[in-house]
Amino acid sequence: MISLPGFWDKILFINLSSNEIWTEGIDDAWENYIGGIGIASFLFEKYGINDPFDGKNPIIIMTGPFVGTAFPNSGRHEIVSRSPQTNFLGEANSGGHFGYELKRSGYDGIVIVGKSDIPRIIYIDDGNINIEDASNLWGLDIYSTQKKINERKKFSVMTIGPAGENLVYFSSVMNDEGRAAGRTGLGAVFGSKKLKAIAVRGKNIIPLYNKNEFNKLAVSIAKQIIESPVVSGFKNYGSMIWIDGGQGFGDVPANYYHDHDFPYDSLSSIKFHETFNVTSYHCSSCVIGCGRTVSYKSFKIDGPEYETVAAFGSLLGNQDMEKIILWNHLVNSLGLDSISTGVLISALNYYIKNNLLNDENLKNYLSNNFDHVTDLIKDIAYKKGIGNDLSFGLERFALSKGIERDLIATVKNLEVPMHDPRAFKLQGLVYATSSRGADHMQGDMYQVDIGGSHEELGITMGDRWIVDSDERVMSVIKTQDFRQIYNSLIICYYAQPSPEDIKNAYNLATGFNVTLEELMEIGSKIINKKRKINESLGLSKDDDYLPKIVRSKIENEPEESQMTDNELKSLLARYYKLRGW
């Protein structure tokens, strides 16, 4: 029975130990936490707080009230579990078609507990559930797995690759060709449960409070998005456009975060589109189409995205786009997080060049203009040789080798993304305080400080280097709160509809009558719930740390771009006070 428009109030529970299947509703939790990451955090607090590879650790996959509707760029889903990589609340978000199909199958989300003795696949076929033996799929890469499953019937498929099967701590969960829920190593949680894949298809129409007005507003928002000059860059060149746009701000890190001295034109998105045979594609309900497919030799390769190009390009000191394309395909195929993998390999290259590591095997992998990086990626995914040590992530490996903590580009064990805090200093505060570690998707201050203000929410553009004030720190807090709303409804970050339109659409979908202020209060409540969960998992203030490698002054760049120890302490103190932590 549907208790609220916009939702089915139906969470599918599956126990892989007993093969039990049941559904539960969660009543007023929808109004308090919206959906997506909000409801997933609510469910994790209720059912989780177990070791990452314990059978009781749940995998929670959630949609939101906009998913499956006509709202533009809402074809997304959230995955939450305890992360083996950070040991805290793990969270990953992906596009494609999986969330859309799951919502239309008649479920708002899935909670999976227990462990199977043999590989399993879950089929959700328009509401009908089957758990089947997936032994014939175990060991296959993500593309082969999806192809094999879709020989039977056309599904949207979520799957892990060999990296997840082998419990690599930064393995991803992939869906719909090469879309990735990449961060925090949730692929390894799937692997620990012997859950190879979930295949879903559905055709139910989502119940809405005022369908006609909601759809009219959705059409209007879609038109605004399509006509946005910012969106045109993503539409024409994909997320790689930030290689061209971000380098002018010093936001595209090079040579393992030590400088910006790199020939960025070799990685230009414009040059990429001129050189290679590139086509675009859309996720469900998307009006932008930032996805890219490259026809290269005998491959059709998904991507690469900006983060992958920067991590395997400028950060590594590599100008060869063909290598990046092939590494991107390999990382996707094996089910590895491209950010963590790229940062790890870039760090190894830096440590070896600067005599901080003296390992002949690693030297061989990185010799001859990176010709053997392919072997290194494979050895990590299969935990072969030194790949086994590397499979636990950069921070654990580097500390075991005596590398100084401040030369390790991680926060809470999660590798730092490709937005340099010395370009936008408040991005560093986001990294330090984010619940899942270094994370550019929980607060995008690099967008705010180039003009992405929302004055009505208290999100204001400011000097990107003059940041130590309550007003500037409050902008970080409000940006983080707002992004929880995005990840709960769920909306792609590239869409950027106005907050007023988001609020109105939410009310039209659900029949609620929330104000913008009340919506932001829900965002803050979700942040605080994630903090409370992490504290129960052992988080302390010491974990909110930004290593000096991403805040020390770069030669020939402005003095004010660095963040000193005292400034970091001051920013964190302001942040805690304003958050009430």
Please report, for the domain that includes residue 544, its CATH number: 1.10.599.10
- Nearest CA to 512 out of 11, 43, 3 is that of 3
H-run or E-run covering 219: helix 211-227
Please report, for the domain that includes residue 51, its CATH number: 3.60.9.10
In percent, the amount of the chain with pLDDT more than 70 equals 99
Q: Are residues 194 and 246 in the same domain?
A: no
> Which two structure tokens, joined as six digits, stand for 80?
């939450």
Task: Return the exposure string of 237-246: e unless at least 16 CB atoms fall within 10 Å of the residue's CB, then b.
Answer: bbbbbbbbbb
pLDDT at 4: 85
In a domain, 60, yes or no: yes
pLDDT at 127: 83
Residue ending a domain, among 182, 201, 220, is: 201
- Nearest CA to 421 out of 459, 449, 393 is that of 449
Averaged pLDDT, 490-503: 95
Q: How far apart are CA 381 and CA 392, in angstroms?
A: 11
pLDDT at 3: 57
Q: How far apart are CA 350 and CA 344, in angstroms?
A: 10
Query: For the sheet containing 77-82, what is the strand order?
Result: 20-24, 11-15, 109-113, 59-62, 77-82, 89-94
Q: How far apart are CA 248 and CA 9, in angstroms?
A: 47
> Which two structure tokens, joined as six digits, stand for 200?
């879903």
pLDDT at 509: 98
- Using the structure block, give the residue that is written with the tokens 């990086």: 373
360/3: higher pLDDT = 360
Residue ending a domain, among 403, 432, 460, is: 403
For 448-483, write each residue's pLDDT tens digit. Answer: 999 999 999 999 999 999 999 999 999 999 999 999
> Which two structure tokens, joined as six digits, stand for 205?
């129409």
- Strands 120-125, 128-133: parallel, antiparallel or unpaired by DSSP? antiparallel
In a domain, 120, yes or no: yes
pLDDT at 344: 98
Question: Is pLDDT above 60 for 1?
Answer: no
In a domain, 283, yes or no: yes
Q: Are residues 152 and 248 in the same domain?
A: no
For 247-285, write each residue's pLDDT tens digit. Answer: 999 999 999 999 999 999 999 999 999 999 999 999 999
Question: Is pLDDT above 50 for 2?
Answer: no
- CA 97 and chain centroid, separation: 16
Q: How crowded is the C-beta side of 195, counted as CA atoms within 13 Å?
A: 32
pLDDT at 335: 98
Q: Are residues 427 and 545 in the same domain?
A: yes
Q: What is the mean pLDDT of the chain?
A: 96
For 525-549, write each residue's pLDDT tens digit. Answer: 999 999 999 999 999 999 999 999 9
Q: Are residues 368 and 421 in the same domain?
A: no
510: left (phi over 0), alpha (psi -120 to 50) or beta: alpha
In a domain, 209, yes or no: no
- Strands 120-125, 109-113: parallel, antiparallel or unpaired by DSSP? unpaired
Averaged pLDDT, 104-121: 98
In a domain, 461, yes or no: yes
Q: Are residues 197 and 338 in the same domain?
A: no
For 52-101, write each residue's pLDDT tens digit. Answer: 999 999 999 999 999 999 999 999 999 999 999 999 999 999 999 999 99
Q: Are residues 570 and 432 in the same domain?
A: yes
Give the count of beta carbons closer than 10 Å to the beta carbon of residue 153.
Answer: 10
pLDDT at 67: 98
Q: How far apart are CA 578 and CA 581, in angstroms?
A: 8
Q: Are residues 391 and 271 in the same domain?
A: yes
Residue ending a domain, among 403, 428, 454, is: 403
Q: Report the domain count for the chain.
A: 3
Q: Are residues 461 and 318 in the same domain?
A: no
Q: Is the peptide bond before 206 cis (omega within 30 degrees of 0)?
A: no
Q: Are residues 342 and 296 in the same domain?
A: yes
Q: How crowded is the C-beta side of 426, counted as CA atoms within 13 Å?
A: 33
In a domain, 485, yes or no: yes
Please report, for the domain that includes residue 234, its CATH number: 1.10.569.10
**At CA 347, angle to CA 547 and CA 560, rounded to 5?**
40
H-run or E-run covering 570: helix 565-579
Averaged pLDDT, 168-184: 97
In a domain, 566, yes or no: yes
Give the count of beta carbons closer than 10 Å to the beta carbon of residue 42.
Answer: 21
> Which two structure tokens, joined as six digits, stand for 464?
């990107």
Q: Are residues 358 and 438 in the same domain?
A: no
CB 228 within 8 A of CB 521: no
- Nearest CA to 94 out of 159, 170, 138, 44 is that of 159
Q: How crowded is the C-beta side of 460, counted as CA atoms within 13 Å?
A: 12
- Residue 16: pLDDT band with limits 50, 70, 90: very high
Q: Are residues 394 and 426 in the same domain?
A: no
Range of the domain at 261: 229-403
Q: How far apart are CA 338 and CA 332, in angstroms?
A: 8
**At CA 190, angle to CA 189 and CA 193, rounded to 5?**
90
> Which two structure tokens, joined as six digits, stand for 347?
């760090």
In a domain, 46, yes or no: yes
Q: Are residues 469 and 567 in the same domain?
A: yes
